[in-house]
């Protein structure tokens, strides 16, 4: 793939079969090019790549025109996960045969909690607590409630709980499984800078679209809370979790957040097996500094935002904080929010 000129040059002296092969390698189709771009973009998310593999291996997808394949791949990127791939397989089938009604368009079962209301899912229908059908849901994440004019996406609100499953024979396959990402409302804490909250929300949204079940662990921390944490593993029981005393952590100035993953039961998980690398990549793309990139003491759940200052500058904010509180600190960084 890396030597287009070399391939076409050497093909002159080779058999017809390998010359054709070399030519095919030298000129990928537009859908193959798009697929390769997507593979590169999602390289750190094996779960999303597996969903892409599933889509491109599908018989119906393979029969689409080049333009239709590109369109399908672009749709996949709106939420690159197994549920979207499953939906797009059904959409490919319909485009080849408009009479078809593939079951892959909608989840067989699952659960949805939207704005505090929990629905059961049965063959694409949303059921209320009494078992009445009150809306529909598709595997691309589109929700249509009967009493609402506009459709919604399950990926638009990080408070949404969604689990979509497909029944394949006796097996239940989970397509997507996301818990509410901020159950304790840490991102709404007025002591957390709004610019930071917005960027972290964008990170969580992208992670969720990619099938990563993330949640906020901690955000703003008072000086007293920081000292309690610093004592852990030193003068108090537990493992050492921070090298920062009160006033030395960006958490104390409302510009740092720790995100972790939800386990299958919706409990916070720090497990190695979680996809921390992809999380870090998404965070950096949102302009945040990721603790996983630090030398020495790495802190993979941690992201922080302090434009114009270095990671080690937190302690230098103490004086501003003493004089004018969080607003004075935020103003120094140009991210103040009082008009």
Residues near Zn ion, by CB under 5 A: 258, 302
CB 52 within 8 A of CB 76: yes
Cβ at position 33, least distance to Zn ion in Å: 40
Q: Decide whether 61 or 290 has the Cβ nearer to Zn ion.
A: 290
Residue with the CB atom nearest Zn ion in the bound state: 302
To Zn ion, the closest distance from the beta carbon of 302 in angstroms equals: 3
Phi, psi of 312 (to 5 degrees): -80, 0
Q: In what order do the strands lie in the sheet with 171-178?
A: 152-153, 142-145, 133-137, 125-127, 117-122, 109-114, 161-168, 171-178
Of 119 and 279, nearer to Zn ion (C-beta) is 279
To Zn ion, the closest distance from the beta carbon of 210 in angstroms equals 22
- Angle between helix 66-78 and 30-41 (nearest 10): 20
CB of 64 to Zn ion, least distance (A): 46
For residues 166 and 289, which CB has a smaller minimum distance to Zn ion in the complex?
289
Alpha-carbon dihedral sign for residues 30, 32, 34, 37? negative
Distance in Å, CB of 314 to Zn ion, minimum: 11
Considering the complex, state which of residue 160 and residue 252 has its C-beta at the smaller distance from Zn ion: 252
φ and ψ at residue 231, rounded to 5 degrees: -65, -25
CB 258 → Zn ion: shortest distance, Å? Answer: 4
> In whole angstroms, how close is the CB of 251 to Zn ion at the nearest point?
6
E strands, the chain, are 109-114, 117-122, 125-127, 133-137, 142-145, 152-153, 161-168, 171-178, 214-218, 256-262, 268-269, 289-290, 302-304
136/191 with CB nearer Zn ion: 191
Q: Which residues pair with 96 in a beta bridge?
A: none
Strand partners, 232: 236
**Closer by beta carbon to Zn ion, 138 or else 302:** 302
At 82, is the secondary structure helix, strand, or coil?
helix
If the CB atoms of residues 145 and 244 are measured against Zn ion, the closer one turns out to be 244
Residue 228: CB minimum distance to Zn ion, A? 14
Backbone φ and ψ for 308, nearest 5 degrees, come out as: 90, -5
Helix (H) or strand (E) holding 325: helix 318-333
Nearer to Zn ion, 140 or 258 (CB): 258
Task: Tell the smallest beta-carbon distance from residue 256 to Zn ion (Å).
Answer: 5
Pairing between β-strand 117-122 and β-strand 125-127 as defined by DSSP bridges: antiparallel
Calpha distance 80→52 (Å, rounded): 8
Residue 138 or 199 having the CB closest to Zn ion: 199
Which pair of structure tokens corresponds to residue 307? 């434009």
């Amino acid at each position: 793939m890396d030597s287009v000129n070399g391939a076409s040059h050497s093909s002159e002296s080779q058999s017809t079969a390998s010359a054709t092969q070399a030519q095919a390698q030298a000129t990928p189709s537009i859908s193959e090019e798009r697929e390769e771009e997507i593979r590169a973009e999602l390289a750190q998310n094996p779960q999303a790549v597996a969903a892409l593999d599933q889509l491109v291996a599908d018989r119906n997808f393979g029969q689409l025109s080049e333009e239709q394949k590109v369109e399908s791949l672009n749709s996949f990127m709106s939420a690159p996960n197994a549920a979207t791939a499953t939906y797009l397989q059904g959409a490919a089938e319909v485009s080849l045969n408009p009479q078809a009604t593939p079951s892959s368009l909608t989840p067989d079962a699952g659960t949805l909690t939207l704005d505090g209301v929990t629905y059961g899912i049965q063959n694409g229908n949303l059921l209320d607590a009494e078992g009445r059908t009150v809306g529909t849901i598709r595997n691309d994440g589109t929700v249509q409630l009967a009493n609402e004019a506009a459709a919604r996406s399950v990926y638009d609100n990080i408070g949404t709980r969604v689990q979509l499953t497909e029944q394949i024979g006796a097996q239940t396959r989970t397509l997507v499984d996301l818990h509410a990402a901020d159950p304790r409302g840490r991102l709404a804490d007025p002591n957390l800078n709004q610019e930071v909250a917005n960027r972290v929300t964008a990170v969580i949204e992208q992670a969720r679209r990619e099938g990563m079940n993330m949640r906020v662990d901690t955000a703003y921390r008072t000086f007293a809370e920081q000292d309690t944490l610093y004592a852990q593993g030193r003068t108090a029981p537990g493992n050492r979790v921070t090298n920062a005393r009160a006033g030395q952590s960006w958490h104390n100035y409302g510009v740092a957040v720790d995100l972790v993953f939800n386990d299958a039961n919706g409990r916070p998980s720090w497990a190695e097996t979680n996809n921390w690398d992809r999380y870090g990549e998404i965070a950096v793309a949102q302009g945040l500094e990721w603790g996983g990139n630090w030398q020495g003491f790495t802190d993979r759940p941690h992201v922080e935002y302090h434009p114009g200052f270095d990671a080690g500058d937190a302690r230098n904010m103490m004086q501003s904080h003493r004089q004018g509180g969080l607003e004075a600190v935020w103003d120094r960084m140009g991210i103040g929010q009082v008009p």
